[in-house]
Structure 1
């Protein structure tokens, strides 16, 4: 445990169990927050995830009848605006991604249609090819 105050014969399991028993609510809250952070986003979504987590933590604190000391009141408006912008930009990105996929799908369908037409042309010209070769 790297604790200089603990002796060499300290039962670490008992210490941990006592700590969890004494601080059960706090441990449960930190566990919930950790799961929330893992589910909401990753390091690539810092702006979006941070805003959402802060907002969630404030609501969670209010429901627990606690003050939300970790929340910067002056930045509330900016935080919500950033969160909204992130949501909108994700929708724009997703919409443009859908549009690109639709273009690719249409192009693939056009290419398949072109291949079918080429196959038909080859089938039509197939009997004529031997006669051309025979004339040469």
Structure 2
């Protein structure tokens, strides 16, 4: 796989993950809100669980940085295709972890998580997605 094809694949993965972060929250907000006494008990802990999930991305980001460095070092060598493949695998894993807070917001929408809390969780996931973009140095 050459550099252009690898970058296109990484770009497609990023856009797909963006859809997988935003669409579930938008769809969940269209569901009717559940009523009951447990609604208030679940909303607040779900928000804090979503905030805690933001910190799961820290070790993934370190692995992503190391994969970026190894990919750049493998330029114009026989190991370049495998380096691109390893970078993609590490990045996909990191993108999935980065999307978890938004998924908690989607699950929490019918359970009474406030829209502002949902927005904060989705924005946190989106900021993590921005961290995992492929830098221009890898062209």
Q: TM-score, with normalisation over the residues of structure 1?
A: 0.27
Bigger Rg, structure 1 or 2: 1
Q: TM-score, with normalisation over the residues of structure 2?
A: 0.26
